[in-house]
Structure 1
Amino acid sequence: MNHERSTNRSDAVTTRDPPIAGHVAPGFEPVEATFRETLRDDRELGAACAVMYRGELVVDLWGGYRDAQRTEPWTEDTLVLVFSATKGVAAAAMAHAHSQGYFDYDDRVADYWPAFAQHGKGNVTVRQLLAHQAGVAAIGRNMTPTDVADRESLIVRLAEKEPDWEPGTRHGYHAWSLGWYESELLRRTDPAGRTLGTYVTEELFDPLDESFYIGVPESVDSQVAHVEPFSPLDALRNVGSFPPRMLLGLANPFSTASRAMNPFDVSTPADLNAPEWRRLEIPAGNGIGTARALAQLYGVLATDGSPLNIDRETLDMLAAPGRSPTRDRRDVVLGTDTSYSLGFWKPFDGFEFGSKAAFGAPGAGGSFAFADPEQELGFAYTPNRMGTHVWDDPRELRLRLAVTACLKYK
Structure 2
Amino acid sequence: MNVHGTVAEGFEPVGEAFAANFARLGERGAAVAVYRDGHRVVDLWAGTRDVDGTAPWERGTAQVVRSATKGVAAAALLLLHQRGLLDLDAPVGAYWPEFKAAGKERTLVRDLLAHRAGVPVLDRPLTPEEAADPDLGAAAVAAQAPVWEPGTDHGYHAQTYSWLAGELIRRVTGRPAGEFVAAGITAPTGAEMWLGLPSSEQSRVGRVGPVTAPEAAGALKVRPKRAVADAYADPDSLTRRAFAAITPLPDENAPAYRAAALPASNGIATADGLARVYASLIGEVDGGTRLFTPQTVELARAEASAGPDRVLVVGTRFGLGFMLHGPASPLLGPGSFGHPGRGGALAFADPDSGTAFGYVTNGFRGGVTADPRAQSLVRALREALGRG
Q: Could you tell me the TM-score, scaled by structure 2's length?
A: 0.92
Q: Does 1:228 align with 2:209?
A: yes
Return the match for 1:138 from 90, 115, 121: 121
When residues 359 and 212 of structure 1 are mapped into structure 2, their CA distance, relative to the original with a 3 A threshold, is: same
When residues 42 and 230 of structure 1 are mapped into structure 2, their CA distance, relative to the original with a 3 A threshold, is: closer
Q: Could you tell me how far apart the structure 2 residues matched to 1:258 and 1:135 are?
A: 15
When residues 244 and 283 of structure 1 are mapped into structure 2, their CA distance, relative to the original with a 3 A threshold, is: farther
AA matched with 1:256? L
Which residue of the partner structure matches residue 394 of structure 1?
372
Q: CA deviation at 1:317?
A: 1.1
Q: CA deviation at 1:389?
A: 2.7
Q: Could you tell me how far apart the structure 2 residues matched to 1:262 and 1:188 are?
A: 26
Structure 1: gaps of 5 or more residues:
1-16
Structure 2: gaps of 5 or more residues:
none
Which residue of the partner structure matches residue 95 of structure 2?
112
Structure 1 stretches of at least 4 aligned residues deviating more than 6 Å after TM superposition: none
Q: CA deviation at 1:251?
A: 1.7
Secondary structure in structure 1 of the residue aligned to 2:6? strand
Q: Does 1:363 align with 2:341?
A: yes
Q: CA deviation at 1:232?
A: 11
Task: Choose 112-121 or 310-319, whichever is displaced more.
Answer: 310-319
Q: CA deviation at 1:408?
A: 1.5
AA matched with 2:57? W
Return the match for 1:51 from 34, 47, 50: 34
Q: Could you tell me how far apart the structure 1 residues matched to 2:196 and 2:123 are?
A: 21
Asked whether the equivalents of residues 131 and 246 of structure 2 are also in contact (C-alpha less than 8 Å), the reply is no
Q: Does 1:382 align with 2:382?
A: no
Asked whether the equivalents of residues 49 and 62 of structure 1 are also in contact (C-alpha less than 8 Å), the reply is yes
Q: Could you tell me how far apart the structure 2 residues matched to 1:350 and 1:315 are?
A: 22
When residues 358 and 233 of structure 1 are mapped into structure 2, their CA distance, relative to the original with a 3 A threshold, is: closer
Which residue of the partner structure matches residue 354 of structure 1?
332
Q: CA deviation at 1:252?
A: 1.9
Which residue of the partner structure matches residue 161 of structure 1?
144
Asked whether the equivalents of residues 192 and 274 of structure 2 are also in contact (C-alpha less than 8 Å), the reply is no
Q: Could you tell me the TM-score, scaled by structure 1's length?
A: 0.87
Which residue of the partner structure matches residue 278 of structure 2?
298
Identical residues among aligned pairs (%): 38
AA matched with 2:264? A
When residues 174 and 42 of structure 1 are mapped into structure 2, their CA distance, relative to the original with a 3 A threshold, is: closer
When residues 355 and 42 of structure 1 are mapped into structure 2, their CA distance, relative to the original with a 3 A threshold, is: closer
Task: Choose 272-281 or 85-94, whichever is displaced more.
Answer: 272-281
When residues 27 and 67 of structure 1 are mapped into structure 2, their CA distance, relative to the original with a 3 A threshold, is: same
Which residue of the partner structure matches residue 245 of structure 1?
227
Calculate the aligned-residue CA RMSD, in Å: 2.3
Which residue of the partner structure matches residue 44 of structure 2?
61
Which residue of the partner structure matches residue 302 of structure 2?
320
AA matched with 2:5? G
Which residue of the partner structure matches residue 3 of structure 1?
none
Which residue of the partner structure matches residue 188 of structure 2?
207
Which residue of the partner structure matches residue 274 of structure 1?
254
Q: Could you tell me how far apart the structure 2 residues matched to 1:405 and 1:215 are?
A: 36
Q: Does 1:218 align with 2:224?
A: no
